[in-house]
Chain A
Amino acid sequence: MLKDITLGQYFPGKSPIHLLDPRTKLIMLVVYIVALFIASGWVSYALMLVFLAAVIKISTIPFKSILRGMKPLVMILVFTGILNIFFTAGETVWLKLGFITITKEGVIRAVFMMARILMLVSGTFLMTYTTSPIALTDGLESLMNPLKKIKVPVHELSMMMCIALRFIPTLIEETDKIMSAQKARGADFESGSIIDRAKALIPILVPLFISAFRRADELATAMECRCYQGGDGRTKMKILRYHRWDFYAFGVGALLVAAVVTLTSFGL
């Protein structure tokens, strides 16, 4: 059950999207999100949807996997939808039931908000699905490099992120193992009051923390054995370089923003 968490899971592949420079993908994600927030009419939303669908198609990531990642969002979506439907003031009243009024504007706004959340999240998922965690942190480090001038420990931050991502599956596996072991000793995680259930977590959390610290210790020793001393003077095996496809991607990004801005200024 814990294995169902797909957050940040990488699907290896060789599609043009996979092969883009991670920096390009990060910048494009920002551009895409900005465009998404500028878009306000049916036509501009449709354009964003077409763009998203095209990228998903090119990436060869199965649509099902993206849908599966949406599952935890259902509650947020429903909540957003309801809030917007009931609490948006408008002129065209469609339904009036006591103190509840549903207006045309409210429904339209709810649809737009839900579409925006869905598209935002699928765009982000698409990036983590097509970019390995290492490439992603490399890209982030390279993009944040100018911040070194104001003494931000960029390399250390990206190394921490890289290690954290790397250990998510390990810790999930460990949690599963410890849970089974405690269940074998009669631990019960499924019944009882909230306080009972919270207490039942102690036999899992204590061993989990201990093993996380042990792993951290071992990793630190292993890194020091290989003379790790932070980012200074460190060279890279895979040097990031922009290629032809990256420039095409930037072109498409610029066009997308331009199109959305134009459409919005016409109120479409």
Chain B
Amino acid sequence: MEPILQVKNLNHLYSAGTPFEHKALEEVSFSVNRGEFIGIIGHTGSGKSTLMQHLNGLLKPTSGDILLDGKSIWADKASTRQARFRVGLVFQYPEYQLFEETVYKDIAFGPKNMKLSAEEVDRRVREAAGFVGLTEKQLEVSPFDLSGGQKRRVAIAGVIAMEPEVLILDEPTAGLDPVGREGILKNIEDYRKAKNATIMMVSHSMEDVARLTDRLLVMNHSRLAFDGTPAEVFTHAEELVEMGLSIPQVTQVFLHLRKMGVKVENVYTIEQAIAELKRIRGGDVHA
């Protein structure tokens, strides 16, 4: 199967040709398959945000290329515009970009820009609202009357309504309470399953990425440091700590247990940990 998104030798210089010039991305290459759930982790300023903004053509690479379905998104103007719609990008704190009088109109902004028919816009708005758990009643209120978590859902629905094949989210759960976090993560997973969409999620929670993603991209100093399954990436515990990152707490506990001489396998999620404990204790563990 051909990858949906290919990033080839991507380089990006900010303020090229001035004294403030600095490298934000250096020789970044990877490819993304349809339906994958990818986590992007990295220290602040490691190039995550710059990378994300390249994937839908908001930033133009200094050199290198991005292929969507095998075709460069910079081939012509139409391809760039297509990339905006096919690769949906949810920024950090997306609730600050809401502007319409009603939730409905705000979610419809993206689909309307795609020049879809009125019926199609209506269908997409209602479906997107459904994915993030907004009620019919809430569609008619002003987005500014909603709570923080609900505003975040509206903003995410605004991108989902464009039905992007690749949905990229920059810390979608930042600043939310545990219930709100779980809710949003579940909405994202639902969207992926329903549309066989690719998800790329920037997160600072090692627990979340270990639990949800199939694959992790680790950014460090403008370069792609690791690219692999969470299990593979978290074996590099020391390097990750050096990059200002960490490994899931449960993994740390189990690594410690191993050092103490307990014969356990490496685990990355609570579920794995319970299973592993059950295995060595003979089924006598309560979560």
Contacts and interface: CB of A to CB of B under 8 A. Distances in A.
Contacts of B181: none
Contact of B109 (A177, A180, A185): A185
A184 to B, nearest CB: 4
A227 interface: no
Interface string A188-218: 1000000000000011001100110000000
Contact of B96 (A184, A185, A202, A207): A207
B103 to A, nearest CB: 14
Interface stretch (B87-95, B125-133, B189-197): B87-95
B45 to A, nearest CB: 15
A55 B114 CA distance: 56
Given A178-B97, A207-B99, A183 B144 contact: no
B158 interface: yes
Contact of A186 (B90, B91, B97, B110): B110
A187 B113 contact: yes
Given A203-B99, A207-B99, A185 B158 contact: yes
Interface residues of A, number: 17
A180 B91 contact: yes
Contacts of B247: none
A186 B58 contact: no
Contact of A182 (B53, B85, B97, B162): B97
A210 B151 CA distance: 14
A203 B100 CA distance: 8
Contact of A178 (B81, B90, B96, B144): B96
B198 interface: no
Interface in B140-159: 144, 158-159
A181 interface: yes
A211 B96 contact: yes
Interface string A156-193: 00000000000000000000011011111111100000
Contacts of A177: 91, 96
A202 B114 CA distance: 18
Given A202-B99, A207-B98, A184 B109 contact: no
Contact of B144 (A181, A203, A210): A210
Contacts of B90: 184
Contacts of B99: 202-203, 206-207
Contacts of B56: 184
B98 A188 contact: no
Among A178, A181, A182, find the residue whose CB has the most chain B CB atoms closer than 10 A.
A181
Tell me the interface secondary structure of chain B in the complex: helix
B113 A181 contact: no
Contacts of B89: 181, 184
Contacts of A180: 53, 58, 91
Contacts of A182: 97, 109
B84 interface: yes
B159 A184 contact: yes
Interface in B50-102: 53, 56, 58, 81, 84-85, 88-91, 94, 96-99
A177 B98 CA distance: 13
B162 A186 contact: yes
A207 B96 CA distance: 6
Contacts of A207: 96-99
A59 to B, nearest CB: 18
Interface in A203-244: 203, 206-207, 210-211
Nearest to A205: B99
A183 B84 CA distance: 8
A202 to B, nearest CB: 7
A181 B96 CA distance: 10
Closest 9 CB pairs of A and B: A186-B113, A206-B99, A185-B110, A184-B89, A181-B97, A181-B91, A203-B99, A207-B99, A207-B97
22 contacts: A178-B96, A180-B53, A181-B94, A183-B58, A184-B84, A184-B159, A185-B110, A185-B159, A185-B162, A186-B81, A186-B84, A186-B85, A186-B109, A186-B114, A187-B109, A188-B113, A202-B99, A203-B109, A207-B96, A207-B97, A207-B98, A211-B96
Interface of B: 53, 56, 58, 81, 84-85, 88-91, 94, 96-99, 109-110, 113-114, 144, 158-159, 162
Given A184-B58, A185-B110, A185-B162, 13 more contacts: A178-B96, A180-B53, A181-B89, A181-B94, A183-B58, A185-B109, A186-B110, A187-B113, A188-B113, A202-B99, A207-B97, A207-B99, A210-B144
